[in-house]
Amino acid sequence: MTDTKFAIQLIAPTLCSPDEIKAFCAHVNSGEEVARLSPDWVLGHGVKLAFVRTGGALAAVGALKRPDQNYHQGCFRKANIASRWSDYPIELGWIYCDEAYRGGMSYKIIDALTQGPEGGQSWYATVRTDNPAMLHPLGKRHFESAGTPYKSVEHPAAKIRLLLRAGGSSN
């Protein structure tokens, strides 16, 4: 990552302009890690969005979200720990950083999103097992692997790792 100044803005999706929501979705979708993200989905499930800008340009995004119950329970069921899903109500995800700004940006996004009123809650995240750029920072921020990896829908050759962070864990 270049030595550039970054501004991280945290905002509830309902307080974002339509253009901000579209830019957020476009950024997440450019990473091709998740199913195509729509503005309606962000507005319906997002809790807090992170916009990381440098020189006015959007460099990275991330979010805390409350996924729909079928997806949420499904992640835990596929990881063979179905009984634990309700203990982790919030998902950390939709994180994507432009390649030019990688090299520590995910730590900044995780740290920003896990501060504030949501800080004491328990969260989960899902990450491909072949994505050390996200697995490592999540591990350093007290997310622990749980259950067994399961097959990715978006990347059939890959497996997904479920990671959990107990409430009250600090960065």
- 135-144 pLDDT, tens digit per residue, is 999 999 999 9
- 97-113 pLDDT, tens digit per residue, is 988 888 788 999 999 99
Low-confidence ranges of the chain (pLDDT < 70): 1-4, 117-119, 168-171
Domains and CATH numbers, the chain: 7-165 (3.40.630.30)
Buried b / exposed e along 95-124 (16+ C-beta atoms within 10 A) = bbbbeebeeebbebbbebbbeeebeebbbb
Nearest to 64 by CA among 140, 19, 115, 26: 115
- The two tokens of residue 37 are 């993200």
Q: What's the CA gap between 171 and 71, in Å, rounded?
A: 27
pTM, two decimals, is 0.90
Nearest to 8 by CA among 114, 92, 131: 114
